Structure 1
Amino acid sequence: MFSLDDHPQRYALANELHARPSPALTAPTTAVFLAVKRPDNAASRDREADRAHLLDLLDRFGAPHPSPDANHYFGAMGRYHLKWEQHTEFVTYTVFADGIGSRAFDPAAFDVFPDDWLRQAPGKRVTSAHIRVDTMPGSEVEMNDAINNWFVAESVAATWVLDRAALVAGDFRIDPAGHMRFVAFIGKGVGERRIGRIVQRLCEIETYKAMSMLGLPQARNLQAKLGLLDKELTHLVGAMSQGDEAPEATLDELLQISSKLEDLTAATSFRLSATTAYEAIVHQRITFLREERFMDRQTLSEFMMRRYDPAMRTIKSAERQLTGMAQRAMRAGDLLRTRVDVQRSKQNQSLLASMNRRADMQLRLQETVEGLSVVAISYYAVSLAGYLAYPLTEMLGISKGMLTAALTLPVVGLVWLGVRRIRHSIEK
């Protein structure tokens, strides 16, 4: 028996790979899709509110509840099937119903979501889609005619997918009912899981396209603010090169610009990075469909290249502009600090030269005082030596003045030598 203990997360991580399987669908089927996002700029959702909203919908149909910690759910809900997924920023609901109505893209299909339940949603609709899954007609002409009737010809994209297992089409426009429209014509013999994957890919493409487009207004607002800051920074760098302002005043202005750039970075970094991730998912999901051209219609990838990619380039351009300006401000700060350091170095050199001059003056004053000290000490020393030698005047037959004069030079010399010796010992 295998007795080695498992890692505590082994089963949870292994099951995560199978946590979100594609639904098994048959044609014809109607799918309605709804993605809800919080209206504020919060990076994450209120998971408890999302769960309570889901349970409210399930209770209306008498459907079983998911496990308490589930972030996805798939199960029967009356005559429907519901697929619910909770993501970092948004939550999605996909409802599948067997069959299709006689009226193409009938808004009544969304009646599965009660009006009062929609009004209580913890967020706002970021997108919704009506997907018609039908069997493939006998000819391409019939499919082409249907596409012409249902979609706007100027923007419709239609393409074969998955080795011509199906034909998908959509114009990425919001219809009068407020939803996106997609159709998938399914060929004979296509498996239920493959049909489910096609529908799921269409939902993901639309969802992540809508989520990534949220970065466009923020990017445009960011570019407007960066335009004003760019003028300030350019003027500041020009003033630095001409030396019109004091470095301290220039440094204060530069710090203000840098702080504004840091605020913009903090305010936009999440949305810009999320947009990059969502864009990658959109292109990845389209690649997975393995497109082939249908008649003379544009493919999904061509539609994205013409309509979607320019918006993404605008967002990336704003991000690069923000990064570039932050780097410019950093380089300007380095130059300004270098200038300030050079000026401070000059000031320090002047201060050291002034200190050297003062030291020389102090040394000269000290030498002057030293000479005066020798005279003063010698005066008192000669007086003391005179008093000591006065008794010898009678023996030598000389006057006191002559004795004092004879003692003066030796005493002065001895005092001078003593003072110098003391100063040398202190200097050592």
Structure 2
Amino acid sequence: MNTTGQPGFEQCAERADIQAEAHARPPLAVEFESAEVWNWVLYDLPDDPAAWQTPYDPACRHKVLELAGGQLRIERHTEFVSVTWLGNGPPDAESLRVIGTCPGRQLAGARVLVRPAGWEGVADVFGPGRIFGGMARFTGVEVATDFQIGADQMVTYTLSGNFEDAFARGRLVKRLVDLETYRMAALLGLPVVRQSTPALQSLEVRTGVAMRALSSSEDETLAASIREISALLAEVGALREGLRYRIAASKAYYDVVSDRLASLAEAPIGQRQTLKGFVDHRLAPAIKTVGAFDRRISDVSATLSDAMALARTRLEQTSQEYNQALLVSMEKRARQQVHLGQAVEGLSVAAISYYVVGLIGVLIKSLPHFAVSVPVLQAISVPAVIALVWWNVRRAKARVEKV
């Protein structure tokens, strides 16, 4: 008897994994009013497990380590590893040593300085350079950055204000870290697209030439055009396949950046440009370039597919015209065969009748003498012989046609 108050259903095999995924990355809790969060994003990760040293494990999605100077969080993503250090000051030498054992190359880095409400040291952190930011989500909370990479290879952000608890403070820190991470990751597609643009331009030009060649009425030119279109389709397919993941990833990363900016819900401070204003102005055109490249590949592929369909139509039309001409020729030859058969039939009747009449003459000559001469009897038999031979030939022909 079930005493738990539940019906005792068998659990879905995937339920535990799905539930674990929802809690795989514990929320970031920043306990100190004055704290520093350093985040490194490592890219170009090695496939060899031997290249990963302790505490890094390529199979582990998330790990939290408590070090003497602070907390270290390691997160494995599809393309990169995110290493986040949290403490009430910069990471100490031992923490830097552990962080430095992570393989890969640095793609992005963010240093978030968390400060209490009323802090007025923004100008001291960024100096005379241009500052971006605004009031973020919670009343009295201010974010700022200059989007410049410092000597420590990090982009510095400041976050100041009153927070209800450590998790509220950690949520905004995490959004700033994600903003810097995915802002850089989204731009990975731009160099690839720029590098592939000359190849795409060449394909576009060759596609135009092949399309114009299809209007030629010469069979050799048409055949050459079909071969060129087939080769172009293969090249476009290879180019598209080689860039498919990178372009799709850039679009997905840009969507994450847009979500993080929307979640900050910035309000301008005076005439200072917000983080969203800067990112929209600098990042959106790059993503549009990537999107335009993707559309151009699609357009070339569609044009070549239409060209191949047109070529097939022309080939079918040419084949039909050839078949029509062949049928006309066959019909003409059939008529000639009929006429020839009729002529042969007439000649056959005449030849057979001639020999039959000759045989009749020989037969008559072997009989007793008649009053009528042999030639006269032969002449009299000619019509009957011709009619009989013609009737037999027609009957034989009818039998053959029935088979």
Query: TM-score, normalization: structure 1?
Result: 0.84
Secondary structure of the residue aligned to 2:149 is coil
- 1:309 alignment partner in structure 2: 284
Q: How many residues align?
A: 395
Q: 1:123 pairs with 104, 113, 117, which one?
A: 104
- The 8 Å contact of residues 165 and 190 in structure 1, kept in 2 or not, is answered as no
Q: Does 1:134 align with 2:134?
A: no
Deviation at 1:391, TM superposition (A): 6.4
The within-5 A match list for 1:3-152 is 3-26=8-31, 27-38=33-44, 46=47, 48=49, 52-53=52-53, 55-56=54-55, 70-97=60-87, 99-100=88-89, 112-114=95-97, 118=100, 121-137=102-118, 142=120, 146-151=121-126
Distance change (3 Å), C-alpha of 1:224 and 1:109: farther
Secondary structure of the residue aligned to 2:265 is coil
Deviation at 1:174, TM superposition (A): 1.0
Uncovered stretches (5+) of structure 1, i.e. residues with no partner: 40-44, 58-65, 102-107
The within-5 A match list for 1:354-373 is 354-373=329-348
Deviation at 1:247, TM superposition (A): 0.2
Distance change (3 Å), C-alpha of 1:234 and 1:111: farther
Deviation at 1:275, TM superposition (A): 0.7
Q: Does 1:235 align with 2:209?
A: yes
Deviation at 1:393, TM superposition (A): 5.8
Deviation at 1:8, TM superposition (A): 1.1
Secondary structure of the residue aligned to 2:214 is helix
* Amino acid in structure 2 at the alignment position of 1:100: G
Deviations 1:269-295 (A, max 9, x none): 110011111110110111112222223
Q: 2:226 pairs with 251, 262, 268, which one?
A: 251
Larger mean CA deviation between 367-376 and 22-31 belongs to 367-376
- The 8 Å contact of residues 67 and 95 in structure 2, kept in 1 or not, is answered as no
In structure 1, what is the Cα distance between the partners aligned to 2:129 and 2:374? 134
Secondary structure of the residue aligned to 2:347 is helix
* Amino acid in structure 2 at the alignment position of 1:362: Q
Q: Does 1:345 align with 2:320?
A: yes
In structure 1, what is the Cα distance between the partners aligned to 2:232 and 2:59? 46
Distance change (3 Å), C-alpha of 1:131 and 1:186: same
Deviations 1:200-258 (A, max 9, x none): 11111111111110000111122222112222222232333355771001111222222
- 2:242 alignment partner in structure 1: 267
Secondary structure of the residue aligned to 2:152 is coil
Q: 1:320 pairs with 295, 318, 321, which one?
A: 295
- 2:132 alignment partner in structure 1: 157
In structure 1, what is the Cα distance between the partners aligned to 2:139 and 2:356? 124
In structure 2, what is the Cα distance between the partners aligned to 1:164 and 1:47? 48
In structure 1, what is the Cα distance between the partners aligned to 2:11 and 2:400? 79
Distance change (3 Å), C-alpha of 1:397 and 1:222: same
Secondary structure of the residue aligned to 2:139 is coil
Q: 2:351 pairs with 368, 376, 383, which one?
A: 376
Deviation at 1:19, TM superposition (A): 1.5
In structure 1, what is the Cα distance between the partners aligned to 2:102 and 2:351? 103
Secondary structure of the residue aligned to 1:171 is strand
- The 8 Å contact of residues 226 and 322 in structure 1, kept in 2 or not, is answered as yes
Deviation at 1:388, TM superposition (A): 5.8
Deviation at 1:125, TM superposition (A): 1.2
- 1:63 alignment partner in structure 2: none
In structure 2, what is the Cα distance between the partners aligned to 1:333 and 1:385? 75
- 1:183 alignment partner in structure 2: 158
* Amino acid in structure 2 at the alignment position of 1:7: C
* Amino acid in structure 1 at the alignment position of 2:148: R
In structure 2, what is the Cα distance between the partners aligned to 1:389 and 1:96? 137
In structure 1, what is the Cα distance between the partners aligned to 2:148 and 2:400? 95
In structure 1, what is the Cα distance between the partners aligned to 2:21 and 2:225? 55
* Amino acid in structure 2 at the alignment position of 1:398: V
Identity among equivalent pairs (%):
28
In structure 1, what is the Cα distance between the partners aligned to 2:343 and 2:304? 57
Deviation at 1:77, TM superposition (A): 2.8
Secondary structure of the residue aligned to 1:246 is helix
In structure 2, what is the Cα distance between the partners aligned to 1:85 and 1:284? 20
- 1:104 alignment partner in structure 2: none
Secondary structure of the residue aligned to 1:19 is coil
* Amino acid in structure 2 at the alignment position of 1:268: L
* Amino acid in structure 2 at the alignment position of 1:81: Q
Deviation at 1:389, TM superposition (A): 6.0
In structure 2, what is the Cα distance between the partners aligned to 1:243 and 1:409? 62
Q: 1:402 pairs with 340, 356, 376, which one?
A: 376
CA RMSD of aligned residues (A): 2.7
Uncovered stretches (5+) of structure 2, i.e. residues with no partner: none
In structure 2, what is the Cα distance between the partners aligned to 1:78 and 1:265? 49
- The 8 Å contact of residues 213 and 221 in structure 2, kept in 1 or not, is answered as no
- The 8 Å contact of residues 386 and 407 in structure 1, kept in 2 or not, is answered as no
Secondary structure of the residue aligned to 1:126 is strand
